[in-house]
Amino acid sequence: MKILAQAAAGAAAEGLAAAALQLGAELITVEPGKNGSESPLYGGLRSHPDLVFVPAGPLADLQELRTATRARGAALAVACATPEEALRAAAAGADEWTLPSTTPAELAARLESAMERSRRSSLPQAAAEVAEHLQYEELLYDRFTGFPTLPLMLERAREMLERSGRLTLLYIEFVRYSKLEEIYGWQKLDEVLQSTAAAVRDFYDQQRDAQESLLMVSHAGDDDFIFFTDLPEPVDQAERRINELAEALQTYIRERLEQDHGADIASLFDIYIGSTTIFRNPKIRTERMIYRGIREAAQAARSVEHRERSRKVADLKETLRQGAVYVEYHPIVITATKEIYGYEALARGSHRAMRSPQILFGVAEEANLIWELSRLCRQRAVEGMETHLQAHQLLFINIDPHDFRDPAFRSMKAEDLGIEHPERIVLEITERTAITDYPAFQVYLKEFRDQGFRFAVDDAGSGYAGLGSIANLQPDFIKLDISLISDIDTNFMKQNLVETMVSFANEHDIKVIAEGVEREDEYETVKGLGVHLTQGFLFHKPARAGQGPR
């Protein structure tokens, strides 16, 4: 047993040495990396440690280390100084974490259990397959579609591979707009996934009638599906047939989504299909070949996605050139009276390919056009105020964290936006993005606040900022993350948290907004907890200027 640790000082080092001794493990200690150079930990990983033990660092570093350790089949444990750090370690997917109060005996037990967990989740003699095994473990369960589960699928795929000597996999990847749930509600997302699953199943049935060779379909983890097919064509013609099949499937699903849910919702989904063919090889275990095939097909789907994205950059440039962005307004109501207090502006691209904000902003970020896009969206949002908002209603605008580096945004004045009353504009900043430089950030915020703009912390409760950090930002509003609101009527933990946040907000003269309220029971619960404002599908859907409730 081998433990690779980053050097610590004093009691922590002694504790670790004692724990290693108790476990009978070899302890290898490396120095922390210097700025700009690769951490010696990564070099140490090549010696195949069973566990890597490091002090908590930034989330991104931990995540990177998690990927590296997982690829080598090593467990990851993190020494945390505070509960916040432990949350970060958990978020990064560490197998275990410790706090300063952890005794050497407890540390030994925890490290051992971390290794045990990591071992259990790895395939024998194949550390490189650990990651994919974890990913495909999800295939074991299918709550949604009733499609065959992995063991069944494997068995049949193996039979097929052995019978015909080859097996083609089509991996169907769904990419969805992440705010879909927030705006349309999780029921809507469930409905969309249900009809997608039904479309895949119908397509499968039709194809199977036409040709015996399409063998089966399975629901792969998240929202992805896999087809296994044994094409009768000669190898040189098979590729064309696979492409036809993929194209037909994509069209079929898209048509079904549009028919069931309308073009707007269908546009929030992208479908990418990747394929690969594996050939029987008696020297390699069949399951491993199939796993590898799934992985290759998934990668192929992602590279299709990538190609599509380059095409989208061109679309985005066209969108910016034409100013082809419009805004939907999503009402925020006063919880007690249900009167409309303000609207959140949600940007959409006018061109079909650019409709989804996720695509719009995702593409803009990749193409380094985010400032231009943000400026256009702000302008559009404000333009619609006249026709859509009453004089006392506020406009909530999402600010991308990148915007704070845009000189045009930093020096933005109310008159640049063509408005007389900056106090009607609420700039929403998401808590999801870690704000690393608080003092600098507060300076920016103050400049805006001095001009009269107001602030909201968006998605509060989703990140790890904690109440202290929220208090430091002195926002006018706190928008609770949807994860805090969904099912709050039956979850007392969430009720307690929201209650705490409301009383915190009351002390600091902040208004709390519950986002994603979808059911009457959820509404009654947030109302009972004293949440000031409510936004959600239960009351209103987002609508274009002049079309929705006012």
Distance CA 276, CA 270 (A): 20
| Lookup: tokens for 7 | 């050097």
CB of 335 to another protein, least distance (A): 21
Could you write out the DSSP letters of every residue in 52-108?
EEEE---HHHHHHHHHHHHHTT-EEEEE-SSHHHHHHHHHTT-SEEE-TT--HHHHH
What three-state secondary structure class fits 346? strand
Considering the rule CB under 8 A, would residue 191 count as an interface residue with another protein? Answer: no
3-state secondary structure labels for all residues of 503-549: HHHHHCCCEEEECCCCCHHHHHHHHHCCCCEECCCCCCCCEECCCCC
What three-state secondary structure class fits 167? strand
Q: What is the pattern of x (binds another protein, CB under 8 A) and - over residues 316-355?
A: ----------------------------------------
Q: Which is nearer to another protein, 97 or 396 (CB)?
A: 97
Distance CA 160, CA 118 (A): 33
User: Which of 46, 143, 283, 321 contacts another protein by CB under 8 A?
Assistant: 143
Considering the rule CB under 8 A, would residue 515 count as an interface residue with another protein? Answer: no
CB of 143 to another protein, least distance (A): 5
Q: What is the pattern of x (binds another protein, CB under 8 A) and - over residues 425-464?
A: ------------------------------------x---
Q: Which stretch binds another protein (CB under 8 A): 11-19, 55-63, 389-397, 481-489?
A: 481-489
Nearest by Cα to 91 from 70, 62, 64? 62
69 to 98, contacts with another protein by CB under 8 A? Answer: 83-84, 86-87, 90
Q: Which is nearer to another protein, 140 or 408 (CB)?
A: 140
User: Which of 33, 221, 401, 466 contacts another protein by CB under 8 A?
Assistant: 466
Q: Which is nearer to another protein, 174 or 504 (CB)?
A: 504
Considering the rule CB under 8 A, would residue 503 count as an interface residue with another protein? Answer: no
Considering the rule CB under 8 A, would residue 309 count as an interface residue with another protein? Answer: no
Q: Which is nearer to another protein, 308 or 499 (CB)?
A: 499
385 to 424, contacts with another protein by CB under 8 A? Answer: none
Considering the rule CB under 8 A, would residue 472 count as an interface residue with another protein? Answer: no
**Residue 529: φ, ψ to 5°:** -85, 0
Pairing of strands 340-349, 96-98: unpaired
User: Which of 119, 437, 492, 547 contacts another protein by CB under 8 A?
Assistant: 492
What three-state secondary structure class fits 370? helix
What three-state secondary structure class fits 464? coil
| Amino acid at the residue 349 | G
Binding site for another protein (CB under 8 A): 83-84, 86-87, 90, 106, 109-110, 112-113, 117, 141, 143, 461, 466-467, 483-484, 487, 489-494, 496-497, 500, 519, 521
